[in-house]
Chain A
Amino acid sequence: MESLIWGYIYPNEAEIQWSILIVLYPYITGLVAGAFIASSLYHVFGKKEIKPVARFALLTALSFLLVATLPLVTHLGHPERGIEIMFTPHLTSAMSGFGYIYSFYLIVVVLEIWLSFREDIVKMALNSRGWKELLYSGLALFSYDISEKALHDDEKFAKKLAIIGIPSAAFLHGYVGFIFGGIKANPWWSTPLMPLIFLMSAIVSGIALLILLYLASMKLRKHAIDHKCLHSLAHYLWIFLILDVTLELLEVISMKYESLEEIEIINRLLSDKIATTFYGVQLGLGIFVPFVLLLLVGIMKNRETLKMIMISISSVLVVIGVFAMRWNVVIGGQEISKSLSGTLTYVPVFFSQEGVLPAIIILVIPFIILFVITRILPPWKDMEEKV
């Protein structure tokens, strides 16, 4: 234990309070916000080339959104009292808004999905028998109007909803950044840039995850990949990577340039505690390499397979890099003492309430949910018509 501590930490700091589960929380909400924003590129901004994945992106967002509360509740000392955050929120706390923002966003995503799938649901309800008929009739809310006018109204409402959805997605995740950015006690967290950094990294992680899930689904279903769609996603990933790295570097550079009281401990954090995960994984592998690869993809002509491989590698790296970013914020911030005179080391435990095992389980669940929902609501209709 002692060897994990350098310098002087306050005696109460020997235990790291926010473990790997709290790393997962912003990671998962980030994936949700990113996937939703990717889908709104089509739904709101009318980017037709994104259409093949637009509905799939919504289902991805929902699958991850459904587990977003799990790491938090699992981590609580009194999970049974967690609901008090909804009943008696203490409004000066950044955290108290969580229940409301989360619920509101869940409603927006579910409504958006319902509207985008309504036509399919009604058709399936009309064309099936037995329990399937019951299921789809229920999902259709026993309303079977799919006249052209009704569908047009759906689309109009869906667009309005997506317009509300974008700020709420941004708010859901920017707000998570504020939970950390608003803590003046911690110099590694306390910066007004934090919500923006969280938002940008959320968008890149969401788009990258969407690319990977799209490619995997097409491989599994033995369908041709829509390269135009893939390249468009890669293009947006590249743009948001630039915004993301600009903010992340701005934060560190201004900290180093201003060199306030806490600079010595921040330097030690960056050069010792999280050197590998920050410079190596978050910035190097997670941003720089994908940036170069995606730049090449943009320049190269033809060679679709090679480009696809490069985009896949970039996406894997981005998804890992953003996890490292969450780790560096959540764990890194707790590895420096608020005495500014020492550091400590977080050693993850495997089997425990806040261990690696529950973290893995929580991270696997959304993929299972996604698998099930895509069975009930196949999002690929648009493509199949084309193929």
Chain B
Amino acid sequence: MNLSRREFAKIGCRIVIGATAGTAMIESIATNGIAAENSPKGDYNWKEHYWGYLIDTRKCIGCGRCANACKLENNVPFDEPVYRTWVERYRIVNKGREENVTIDSPNGGINGFTDDIPAEQIKKAFYVPKICNHCENPPCVQVCPVGATYSTEDGVVLVDYNYCIGCRYCIQGCPYGARYFNTEKGTADKCTWCYHRITKGLQPACVEACPVGARVFGDLKDPESPVNKILDKERINVLKPDLGTKPKVYYVGLDREVR
């Protein structure tokens, strides 16, 4: 077969283009295939679950064991002011006719709380545990410029540490102060609801550590789950509902002072 230089070049180009397109197609099918099965390994199927979290502020005693357990479980540095969960104390003091609210969370409540206001001055006091709300409409996911933070099929908001560029826009975007900058990883970081545990059928570390059952975790798709049992009968609120983030951490007994 005699080919002119021009024809040879033409055929050559077609082969290269064809091969590239073919490879790209195979690659895209392969990656799509992986995306569909991105669910954690093992028997766990993330399409079968949708997780929710409930906090009964009336039960919390401010012992801080949850915040401590979280740092231990998730290797959150103890010597830095960063927390995946923390406990806030609210004390409402009467000063004449005026009411005064004092809020604190020393070291995230890990070491408990000390009495620095005489008990007789305190009109009302309570503890409020805080944690990432794993919002249905998460502003942190919305603002991430590279898609490194994302919502999973089972309703958990996670950070891809291998992808995050460390711009910290998500930290600015979270209305709840639930995110922090992990100086070791150079990325944003936050509560995962102990994703490595819940996908194995375990409870998050903070829920397991709570001695009074103030923290409840469960599957919203399962009508018999402990979270649904409480949601069915109690009056529920969420934090900053007006921001439209649709939190999935539900509160029982939330005071108007809590933001």
Q: Hey, which bits of chain A sit against chain B, CB under 8 A?
A: 7-15, 17-18, 72, 75-78, 81-82, 84-85, 88-90, 92-96, 98, 179, 182-186, 334, 337-342
Contact = CB atoms under 8 A, between A and B. Distances in A.
A12 B81 contact: yes
Nearest to B175: A185
A338 B177 contact: yes
A93 B169 contact: yes
Contacts of B187: 77-78
A186 B176 CA distance: 10
B180 A12 contact: yes
Q: Choose among A81, A88, A98 the residue with the greatest number of B CB atoms under 10 Å from its CB.
A: A81
Given A81-B165, A184-B139, 5 more contacts: A7-B103, A77-B167, A77-B187, A185-B172, A338-B175
Interface string B176-199: 111111000111100000000000
A77 to B, nearest CB: 2
Nearest to A2: B106
Nearest to A12: B180
Contacts of B174: 185, 338
A343 to B, nearest CB: 13
B152 to A, nearest CB: 16
Contact of B243 (A76, A184, A339): A184
B81 A186 contact: no
A17 B143 CA distance: 15
Given A10-B176, A78-B164, A339-B177, A94 B147 contact: no
A184 B187 CA distance: 22
A179 B243 CA distance: 17
Contacts of B177: 9-13, 337-339
Interface string B151-175: 0000000000001111111011111
A18 B82 CA distance: 16
A89 B146 CA distance: 5
Nearest to B108: A11
A191 to B, nearest CB: 15
B142 interface: yes
B27 interface: no
Contact of A96 (B104, B146, B243): B146
Interface in B73-131: 81-83, 86, 88, 101-105, 107-108, 130
A92 B142 CA distance: 5
B144 interface: yes
Give the 7 A-B residue pairs with the shortest CB-CB distance, closest first.
Answer: A77-B166, A10-B177, A77-B186, A90-B147, A185-B175, A8-B103, A95-B145
Contacts of B172: 17-18, 183, 185-186, 334
A192 B178 CA distance: 25
Contacts of A338: 174-177, 259
Interface of A: prevailing SS: loop
14 contacts: A8-B104, A77-B164, A78-B165, A78-B187, A81-B164, A81-B165, A81-B166, A90-B144, A96-B145, A183-B143, A185-B139, A338-B177, A339-B103, A341-B259
Contacts of A89: 145-146
A85 B164 contact: no
A197 B231 CA distance: 45
A232 B78 CA distance: 60
A184 B244 CA distance: 10
Q: Choose among A10, A18, A179, A334 the residue with the greatest number of B CB atoms under 10 Å from its CB.
A: A10
B146 A11 contact: no
Nearest to B149: A90
Contacts of A12: 81-83, 171, 177-180
B173 A183 contact: yes
B160 to A, nearest CB: 11
A85 B146 contact: yes
B217 to A, nearest CB: 21
Given A8-B103, A93-B169, A184-B243, A339 B259 contact: yes
Contact of A340 (B169, B181, B259): B259
Nearest to B67: A11
A224 B179 CA distance: 57
Contacts of B146: 81, 84-85, 88-90, 96
A337 to B, nearest CB: 8
Nearest to B189: A12
Nearest to B165: A81
B165 A77 contact: yes
Contacts of B259: 338-341
Contacts of B175: 184-185, 338
Contacts of B108: 11
Contacts of B142: 92-93
B165 A185 contact: no
B166 A95 contact: no
A95 B186 contact: no
Nearest to B90: A8
A262 to B, nearest CB: 10
